Structure formats: structure tokens, C-alpha cells
Structure 1
Amino acid sequence: MSSSDRAAALMLALGDDHGRIIWNLLDDEEVKELSLAMSSLGTVDAKVIEELFLDFANNVSSVGTMTGNFDNTERLLSKMLPKDKVTQIMEEIRGPAGRTMWDKLGNVNEVVLATYLKNEYPQTVAVVLSKIKPEHAAAVLSVLPDDFAMEVIMRMLRMEPVQKDILDKVEQTLRTEFMNNLARTSRKDSHETIAEIFNFLDRSSETRFLTALEDRNRESAERVRALMFTFDDLQSLDSTGVQTLLRSIDKDRLGLALKGASEKLRDIFFSNMSERAAKILKEDMEAMGPVRLKDVDEAQMEIVNVAKDLADAGEIVLADNKSEDELIY
């Protein structure tokens, strides 16, 4: 266990009564770092706790095992700190990882960060880009509108050393207006988490688990099924999206994936190829003969993952037919 994990286990073991005096002696950064370690600690066996904290063996041995997670951490902090402070701490540790605000920004997707920054003053954006890693700044800059990006570049070229009070103000604005909102919006519904996991199951396992879940909780099963994105959902892509996807995938894998696809989905892919390319792909598929369902599932999963990556990059729009996000032309 790292030193942070050991400290987190100790504070969880001490609880609010014995730990209050220690919490009051920590500064904000220490509270955040300790809270982050507590929230990701997981289950710690009592014997491990006793070995690590012999001075506290009498208190810890009666605890048995304990679980460190976001809920337990928030519950403990709520007993010792003001509500608004607890909310700020929890939203920060739920957001992108990093000790400082600039570390955290380095873990934010460049498209997400650029979407926020394009509404800020060019001078503010110049300060932000000068504080994050050059490779991340380059990625963000390339996503910003060209005219705005050039204005930011000019500000950076003319920028003098930034005064601490201005830097603190920019950091505080980022924390309150961007990072906290990002943490709130990035919390996943448990059904969404299960849907993402189920997307990686082979077809037989997916059916088995969904059927079992339906027997126990029909409403949850329906929500998970609605959130899942499958190979068949690619038929919602427009022609431009299909052509973009075709340029990004291995044609051999596509042929294998289409062996298990509906005629409608096959036609969508074939119609977005040249006549010659479609003919070759059809011949290749026919030459494959019988193929294992497992191999088809793996090929389909690969292509779905490529489609998701393209969607995250803003190159295509995925709109599954089971949601309210379906596009209407």
C-alpha cells in the first residue's frame, strides 16, 4: 500500500470521533488528497490494517473489514466539515485525477476543454494553455476556431509573467465554473456502467445476462438494453458517417462482422462503397464459408469501438434507434 492508502485506511478506521482532530489540522490540498485515496481504497482486511497500524490495533481489530468508496468518504466528511466544503471536495475528487488544477486539466479531453475555453477571453485561454503540458495545449489549440486560436497565440507571444493573484483568480474560475460542473455531469448512472460492460460480452453471454436480469428486475433490464450500443445500431449512421467509418476499419474485419449482420445493415455498408470494392468484399465474405459466432462478435465489437472513438472525436454522430437522440432529417 502507498503512503496515501495507509493514511486513508487509518482515517477510515478512526472514524469521525477519533479522526476529527486530525482532519481539522489538515490543509485543503491534504484533505483532497486523503479524500481521493479514501474513495478509491476499496476493501481492506482487518489483518492488513493491524499490521500497518500497530499503534491503533485495539481500535482497528474490532472493525473487521471496511470499504473505502465515494459514498463512505462523503458521509464521513459531512460529519466534520461544512456542507459546501464537502460538496467542493467530492466534486473535485470525482472529476479528472490530479493534485493541482493544472494536473486535472491535463486529464480533460481536448474537445471538452476547448468547448469551454472558446467562450472565455483570449487572454484567459492564453494563461490556461501556458500552464498545461505543451502536447495537451497543442491538441486543444487545434480544436479551437481558427480565428480565436490565432488570437490566443498572439496573446501568448506577448504575454508577460502572470501575477499570482490573476493566476489564482483563473484557477478559481476553472474550479467553480468548469471542473465542478464536469465532475457533476460525468457521474455515470449505474445502468450506463452495466450497459458499457455488456457491450463487451459475446452474444450468448449478453443474452444470458440480460435474460437473467429481466427475470429479477424487468425495468432495469429495459434501461440497460436501451443504453447498449450494438453493431446493428450502426444503421443509424448517415452516408458521411458510414464512409468515415469505412476509412478507419480493416476491410477483412468488416467482412467477418457483416457475416452476422442483417441484410439492411449490409446494404448500408455496400451502398457506401464503390461498386468494385463492394463486389470484392462480397466475394471475400462468400469465400470465408462458415465462421464461428465468437469471431463474428469480436469483429463487430472492434468496429463498434472504432465508431465510438470517431464519435468521441466528433468525426461521426452515433444515434441509436432506441434513444431520444435519433436524428431526424
Structure 2
Amino acid sequence: MAETKEESIIPEDELGIEYPLENGNSSVIYTLSGQQKAAALLVAMDKPTAARFLKYFNSDELRKLSSQVRNLPDIKISDFEKLVQEFEEAFAEGASFSQAEERFTSLVRETLPEDEATAVLDPNQDTDRTDSNVFEIMDHMTAEELQPYLTNEHPQTVAYILSRLPDELAAKVLLAQIPAVRSNIVQRIIHLKPVYAAADVIISQALHSALVRQTESKQKSHYKRIAMILNQLDKNELDAVITSLESIGIEDMSNIRAHMFMFEDISRLTSRARLLLFDEIPVETIITALRNADTTLIELTLASLSQRTRRMVETELATSDIGLSQDKIMRAKREIANTALRLAQQGKISLGAEGIAA
């Protein structure tokens, strides 16, 4: 797998930029670039503290910082105080939360395994790997996934394939064979001779189309996994992330949307589907989720409840919601949405024309 590019800690627009003197101030701090300021602070720290900071820099940044340290001018204590104050003010302002792409990337990195996260964030990477070397694809498959492709292959071909796989994976594939075939393959591996490049190409091409279908199947599962992640966001966060993904050209958004469902999407459900859905939801959760909801959503929900439950919900909604946190409301909405997704996966309901078909 190609190495994932590390996110830059030091903004590119601060690398090597000279800051002009402000208001005639002669402090050397105002002549330093952002990179030089970072280097100066690191040098001034005690070793344990500096070591904790260094782990957040990638190798390229560390090389650049190293070159800047050698060229730092003499800095007075009073100037260091100004530098520290400048950094404190920068942190006090905080980072903008409007960067939906970063929010999305963070969610993916924290939720998915590394290889799946990379495939989602860089979908072209799997394609490149497929085209370049079929054995690299096989390295990332399980024995159970490989076995169907090897069942009808000649033992000599299987022996060659196993010789190209990591030892642990090859052992698992070997154990999956019936005893007679297993013995035959082992003997062939023992006496295996170097394979001509042309033969290697033929074997690779024979397996390529099947493995590409496997890769495409995994890509479809990525859509579902990403949708499940996005389903955990609130409406405002989701809108920001979706807008960002569309603006930066993420393809196949329709495939991701097909697996997405939020509480506000219950209007997409049929009357029968809503009846089945709310029959699974505790009354307390329904009441909480409907707090501050729009009138249309409330009416659709109430129409899906039994008369007794409806009266209970209406009575509670008429009372004050003082002390009820927004976080609790969001958890209730998410519980209802996740229940709808579960029922759809079980084939009990359909999420509508834009959702997962039952």
C-alpha cells in the first residue's frame, strides 16, 4: 500500500515567509518566518517537552526545522516572551470548525482500519495497485477470500501462487485444501523452479479480472461504511461535510447517499414503514427526538403511533424541555435512524427511493 501522505503541521503559507516589521518595532521576532518561530520555541523548551511536540511533525517538516535552527539569530529573553504571547493568542483564537473536509477525514481515520480509510480517502489507490501487481492485492486478502479463486486452478499454479504469498497467509490457504491436494501442492513447492516472466504475466492476467471484482466489492462496502460514519453526525455537520465532498470532487456520492439515513429522513418512509419503525422505539426516545423538531416531522411521527402512545407524546411535548441537552436530543434522533437502518438491512422496511432497498 502506498504510504499515506502525512498532514502538514506547519501551514505551507508560513514556510519561508518573512514577516515585515510592525509599527517600526525592532524586535527580531517580527523578522522570523512561521517556521523559524516554531524552531525557536522548540529549541527553548526542555528536552521532555520538546520530544512530545516533535512526534507531531512529519519527517519533511523536521528536516526543514533543522535547517532553520542552524540559521536562527540570537534571540533575547524579552523577544521570547513576545513569541510565546503570539502563539498563545493564536491558540486562543482556535481553529476554524468550518473545514468540513478535515472533519470528514478525521472521522474516517478514527473509525476505519488504516487500509480501508486509505481506500476511501484515496479511491484511486486500490485501482493503481490492481493494475500494477495482482500479488499485492492477494497479500491484502484473507485465505477465505482467496480459496474460491484457487479451487479450479492446477496444483502447479497454486504452488506458484502460494510461493509468492506471505508465509502466514500461504499456510492458511494450504490448510484450506483437501489433504490429497495439500500434499501435492507441498511437493510442487519443494521442487518449484524459477518461473519465466511471461508465465508470471499469464498467471497474473488469469487472476486479475476475478480479483478486480473482489476489489470492486470492497469498494461498495466502503460506501456503506462511510455512510454509517456520516449517519452519526448531526444535520448541520452532515450538510457541511456533504457540501465539502461534492465541492472537492468526491465521486460516487450517490452510492454513499444510498446508505445514509437520518431522523429527518423519516418523511421518505412509507406509512407502513414508519409504523414498523416507531413500534421498535421507546416512548421516551420518541419524545426526546421530537423536541424542537419541525411541525411536519412531528405530525408524521404522531400519525405513526398508537392512540395511547400518541397522547403520551403530545402531553410531554406540551411541557417545558428545560434541562434537556442538545446532545441528548441528538442521541435520540440517532437511535431512531440507526433502528431504521437495521430494519432495512433485515429486509423489514425500505428506506425509500433514495435509500437502501429492502
Q: TM-score, normalised by structure 2?
A: 0.40
Between structures 1 and 2, the one with greater helix share: 1
